[in-house]
Amino acid sequence: MYHQKLEQVLENIERVMIGKRTVAELSIVSLLAQGHVLLEDVPGVGKTMMVRALAKSVGAKFTRIQFTPDLLPSDVIGVSIYNPKEMSFEFRPGPIMGNIVLADEINRTSPKTQSSLLESMEEGSVTVDGFTHKLSKPFFVMATQNPIEYEGTYPLPEAQLDRFLLKMQMGYPDAKEEMEVLNRLQYAPPIDELQPAITLEELQHLQHEVRQVMVDEKIKEYIVDLAGKTRDHANVYLGVSPRGSIALMKAAQAYALLHGRDYVLPDDIQFLVPYVFSHRMILKSEARYEGIEPEEVIERILARTRVPVQRMAK
């Protein structure tokens, strides 16, 4: 039953986003695994529309934060304001207090404001004036950044990049898909007609079910082997941390559940590795000068790592 509802969430997103099923699936995987997504792509390819469609499909509260150089941490998490009538301070929540949050152009704001997201993404809470405020559940952040314009930007620190379960790109549609986009948007935006396919309560139940998806010991060894080889690779200065291994396992559990399985396959790991590991690796300067990308290194590691195969009983 839940598998059918997740398929309907995918169909909802595909009504708005043409030809982006992989991106839609990965967004749902991150949501189910209680992770967050970093979406790096050029302006105008539908990043905001993707998050809005996901929020409407699960009946969640959607908030958007436009990051700018003058944005303050209090503009994100909220602020305490003195109420003279009550003679006390009242907490006024910021836009982070939503279920699905779009952090738009996160690399345009200062590191101080970027760090205000750290606690919320990792702990599900914010602290203002010594008081901790719990965030709504479920809580999901999709942050975007523009890879083209670097002037006036602040690259995300490694500690914050590691908080994102997945990093992905959307890419341009092909000519046929772009024609379909024009046809669908000619009269009215399809997103206005979207109805929730699943409730927040059902989504939270599915997030719990993800943890019950079986991960065989051989699969865990495969994950550890892949992570270890990123640390020893000749082109890698800083490899994937144990947090990255945990992230890959959680993503694989969610991916299996999305496809109606209660167990993880090696194919799930191979598909997800580039999205989970690439932003957690720092290449050596020599490799960067040669134009080598983290995805290329991951592809080579996958090619020379033994895939676990189940032994058939005789």
pLDDT tens digits for range 28-58: 999 999 999 999 887 778 888 888 899 999 9
Nearest to 166 by CA among 182, 143, 145: 143
Instruction: Identify the pLDDT of residue 109.
Output: 86
Instruction: Identify the pLDDT of residue 14.
Output: 87
Helix H, strand E, coil C: the string for 184-244 is: HCCCCCHHHHCCCCCCHHHHHHHHHHHCCCECCHHHHHHHHHHHHHHHHCCCEEECCCHHH
Task: Retrieve residue 294's tokens.
Answer: 């983290």
Instruction: Identify the pLDDT of residue 279.
Output: 92
Average pLDDT score over the chain: 87
Rounded average pLDDT over 218-225: 94
Instruction: Identify the pLDDT of residue 311.
Output: 52
Domain 211-302 matching CATH 1.10.8.80: the answer reads: yes
Task: Quickly count: other Cβ atoms within 10 Å of residue 130's Cβ.
Answer: 6
Rounded average pLDDT over 96-103: 90
The separation between CA 141 and the C-alpha centre of its own chain, rounded to angstroms, equals 7
Q: What is the pTM of this model?
A: 0.90
The lowest-confidence range among 71-80, 154-163, 192-201 is 154-163
Instruction: Identify the pLDDT of residue 170.
Output: 85
CB 251 within 8 A of CB 29: yes
Domain ranges of the chain: 2-205, 211-302
Rounded average pLDDT over 78-94: 83
Say whether pLDDT at 107 is over 60.
yes
Q: Are strands 166-168 and 140-145 parallel, antiparallel or unpaired?
A: unpaired
- CB-facing half-sphere around the CA of 306: CA atoms within 13 A: 5
CATH number attached to the domain at 2-205 = 3.40.50.300
Say whether pLDDT at 314 is over 60.
no
pLDDT tens-digit map of 259-303: 999 999 999 999 999 999 999 998 888 888 888 899 999 999 999
Say whether pLDDT at 252 is over 90.
yes
Instruction: Identify the pLDDT of residue 150.
Output: 62
CB 233 within 8 A of CB 304: no
Say whether pLDDT at 253 is over 90.
yes
pLDDT tens-digit map of 149-187: 666 678 887 777 888 999 998 888 889 988 988 888 887
CB 262 within 8 A of CB 256: yes
The lowest-confidence range among 119-128, 165-174, 231-240 is 119-128
